[in-house]
């Protein structure tokens, strides 16, 4: 009789062990699927952050972050997407939230400062930048420090940060252009001209620097076209810029000649220069 009771007990134990093994296997499978989902989600996040339409990424990250409010990677993805979509006010709020979450770092505070600068909140941007460790040295951090110092007309500080930023990038053209514009706004036209020329040498496609260069030269009474790479359309536009500068300085005869040259240089009808010339001639 004891053997009869023993056999069912052994069978029962075997069934329990079998069930435990089955559950363990199911858990393993479930875990595998979860890992695959995380990998797929990570890939999707990366794709959306570089998608052609940033507003699509905004919609995705808004939904994902609402379902997982504690995940900083999703909130960060939303902030990046809003910045790319130029939705400045929303981006500022999103980056502020990221900086309050567990796992945030100096890079997030720099991005928050960038969003504040783009929204014109200069004082708050300075406060955020001042709170970043001085040992955190990146190009973007110092470029922002420079433009914030510019906004406060703290020229010595601005020059220091522009110079530091230039040394931290292999593509300093844009920051040289910003530095030159800072000099231009101070009335330091010679230094501004030098910086714009250097910016163009670094990036020959930087039309803003070319336009600023002729402004700096015109401010010194020099209306000769600078020797820099330019297309025919760009040449016409730069001549028009110099014409406008000449008008502002009261040199109407020179302005008329520059507008005429801009009109004849442009490969199509150049309405802006035509209107400016007509207004001078009628006046």
Looking at residues 24-43, what average pLDDT do you find? 46
Angle of CA points 198, 230, 140, to nearest 5°: 40
pLDDT score, position 48: 72
Q: What is the DSSP string of 190-241?
A: HHHHHHHHHHHHH-TT-HHHHHHHHHHHHHTT--SPPSS---HHHHHHHHHH
Q: Is 47 exposed, middle or buried (0-12, 13-18, 19+ CB in 10 A)?
A: exposed
Cβ contact 202:174 at 8 Å: no
The domain limits of the chain are 1-35
pLDDT in tens, 67-115: 999 999 999 999 999 999 999 999 999 999 999 999 999 999 999 999 9
Mean pLDDT confidence for 41-51: 66
pLDDT tens for 199-245 read 999 999 999 999 999 999 999 999 999 999 999 999 999 999 999 99
pTM: 0.79
- Residue 43, pLDDT score: 63
The closest of 212, 202, 150 to 174, measured between CA atoms, is: 202
DSSP-based three-state secondary structure for 101: coil
Of the candidate ranges 30-39, 46-55, 150-159, the one whose mean pLDDT is the lowest: 30-39
Terminal-residue alpha carbon distance, the chain? 124
Tell me the mean pLDDT in the region 159-165.
Answer: 97
d(CA 134, CA 150): 19
Rounded mean pLDDT, 21-39: 45
């Amino acid at each position: 009789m004891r053997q009869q009771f023993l056999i069912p007990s052994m069978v029962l134990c075997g069934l329990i062990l079998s069930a435990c093994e089955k559950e363990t296997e199911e858990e393993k499978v479930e875990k595998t699927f979860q890992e695959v989902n995380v990998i797929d989600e990570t890939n999707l996040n990366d794709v959306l952050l570089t998608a052609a339409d940033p507003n699509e990424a905004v919609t995705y990250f808004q939904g994902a972050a609402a379902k997982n409010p504690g995940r900083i990677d999703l909130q960060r993805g939303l902030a990046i997407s809003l910045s790319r979509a130029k939705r400045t006010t929303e981006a500022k709020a999103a980056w502020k939230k990221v900086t309050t979450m567990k796992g945030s770092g100096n890079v997030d505070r720099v991005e928050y400062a960038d969003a504040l600068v783009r929204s014109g909140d200069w004082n708050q941007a300075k406060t955020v930048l001042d709170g970043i460790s001085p040992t955190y040295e990146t190009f973007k951090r110092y470029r922002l420090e420079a433009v914030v110092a510019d906004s406060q007309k703290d020229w010595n500080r601005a020059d220091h940060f522009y110079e530091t930023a230039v040394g931290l990038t292999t593509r300093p053209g844009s920051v040289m252009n910003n530095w030159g514009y800072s000099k231009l706004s101070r009335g330091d036209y010679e230094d501004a001209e030098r910086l714009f020329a250097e910016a163009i040498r670094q990036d020959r496609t930087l039309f803003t620097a070319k336009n600023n260069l002729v402004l700096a030269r015109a401010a010194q009474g020099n209306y000769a076209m600078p020797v820099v790479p330019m297309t025919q359309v760009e040449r016409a536009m730069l001549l028009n810029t110099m014409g406008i500068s000449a008008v502002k300085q009261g040199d109407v005869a020179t302005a008329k000649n520059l507008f005429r040259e801009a009109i004849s240089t442009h490969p199509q009808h150049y309405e802006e220069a035509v209107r400016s010339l007509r207004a001078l001639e009628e006046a």
